[in-house]
Amino acid sequence: MKKATKKEIEALKSTLLERYSEAVTELSYTNAFELVIAVSLSAQCTDKRVNLITPALFKAFPTPKDLANADIEEVKRLIQSCSFFNNKAINLIAMAKRVVEVYGGEIPLDEKELITLGGVGQKTAHVVLIEYTQANLMAVDTHVFRVSHRLGLSDDVSATATEATLVKKFKTNLHQLHQGLVLFGRYICTAKNPKCDSECFLNAFCKSKDGFKPR
């Protein structure tokens, strides 16, 4: 597969920024605590599904203290339509307990601190910081991975390696580029039947229409 040239990378960057300059997450939340929960639930689950689940969950457990003291069966019941809900329920309660016990009930907006919370890995931490603080970070989900490979931006086999490559190639405006790549992959450069001829505004940069997935 051909790689994007430096000139193409600059053109891709400017085009994505022009199109998605105001892009934000499609997850619904009102504070950092709710955002961490929503992003954690979104792993292997669509944002649409998460947004159906979270209103009742946020109402039942509006603060970290409430969730820290929650009955795990009640949490499971509220999120059971989400994939891996058993593990996610355990992690959500563990996250809330640490937020209460270590951080005084406030979500720490620092990558190293965030990844000490239950169920929060590097990708989740980055998505939270990108959305909540507009941090100059990149996060690679299945959409970003697929789009990056189709556009010749990366040929890495893992999401982590792809993230490092994108950071190196784009350098700045990473939070906007992340949001843009997610939306582009979700609605235009889809895994099946990408809208190449009808809607794609990056068709000139496309190197492949294969359905790439991180290993």
Q: Which residue type sits at 12?
A: L
Mean pLDDT in residue range 145-152: 96
7 is catalytic: no
Boundary residue ending a domain (76, 110, 133): 133
pLDDT of residue 148: 96
**116/187 Cα distance (integer angstroms):** 33
Boundary residue ending a domain (84, 114, 133): 133
Looking at the fold, whether 37 and 121 belong to one and the same domain comes out as yes
Looking at the fold, whether 67 and 113 belong to one and the same domain comes out as yes
Please tell me which residue in 141, 195, 207, 210 is annotated as part of the active site: 141
Domain count, the chain: 2
* Residues of the domain holding 144: 6-23+138-205
CATH code of the domain in which 70 resides: 1.10.340.30
> Is residue 153 in a domain?
yes
Looking at the fold, whether 158 and 118 belong to one and the same domain comes out as no
Residue 208 has pLDDT above 90, yes or no: no
Looking at the fold, whether 109 and 173 belong to one and the same domain comes out as no
- CA angle, residues 35, 114, 112, in degrees to nearest 5: 150
Q: Is the pTM of this model over 0.85?
A: yes
**2/205 Cα distance (integer angstroms):** 10
> Is residue 214 in a domain?
no
Looking at the fold, whether 96 and 149 belong to one and the same domain comes out as no
CATH code of the domain in which 16 resides: 1.10.1670.10
**Beta-carbon count within 10 A of 38 CB:** 24
Mean pLDDT in residue range 1-26: 93
Mean pLDDT in residue range 64-69: 98
The model's pLDDT over 175-203, given as tens digits with 9 standing for 90+, comes to: 999 999 999 999 999 999 999 989 999 99
Confidence of residue 32 (pLDDT cuts 50, 70, 90): very high
> Is residue 211 in a domain?
no
Mean pLDDT in residue range 127-151: 96
Looking at the fold, whether 40 and 17 belong to one and the same domain comes out as no
Looking at the fold, whether 119 and 170 belong to one and the same domain comes out as no
Looking at the fold, whether 65 and 124 belong to one and the same domain comes out as yes
Phi, psi of 210, rounded to the nearest 5 degrees? -65, 155
> Is residue 64 in a domain?
yes
Structure tokens at 109: 């907006």
Looking at the fold, whether 115 and 195 belong to one and the same domain comes out as no
Boundary residue ending a domain (83, 107, 133): 133
pLDDT of residue 214: 74
Helix axes 6-20, 159-170, angle to 10 degrees: 90
Average pLDDT across the chain, whole number: 95
pLDDT of residue 210: 75
Please tell me which residue in 13, 97, 123, 169 is annotated as part of the active site: 123
Looking at the fold, whether 83 and 112 belong to one and the same domain comes out as yes
Mean pLDDT in residue range 150-174: 96
123 is catalytic: yes
Looking at the fold, whether 12 and 71 belong to one and the same domain comes out as no
3-state SS track over the chain: CCCCCHHHHHHHHHHHHHHHCCCCCCCCCCCHHHHHHHHHHCCCCCHHHHHHHHHHHHHHCCCHHHHHCCCHHHHHHHHCCCCCHHHHHHHHHHHHHHHHHHHCCCCCCCHHHHCCCCCCCHHHHHHHHHHHHCCCCCCCCHHHHHHHHHCCCCCCCCHHHHHHHHHHHHCCCHHHHHHHHHHHHHHCCCCCCCCCCCCCCCHHHCCCCCCCCCC
Mean pLDDT in residue range 22-36: 96
Confidence of residue 211 (pLDDT cuts 50, 70, 90): confident
pLDDT of residue 1: 73
Looking at the fold, whether 70 and 48 belong to one and the same domain comes out as yes
42-51, 57-66, 122-131, 203-212: range with lowest mean pLDDT? 203-212
> Is residue 213 in a domain?
no
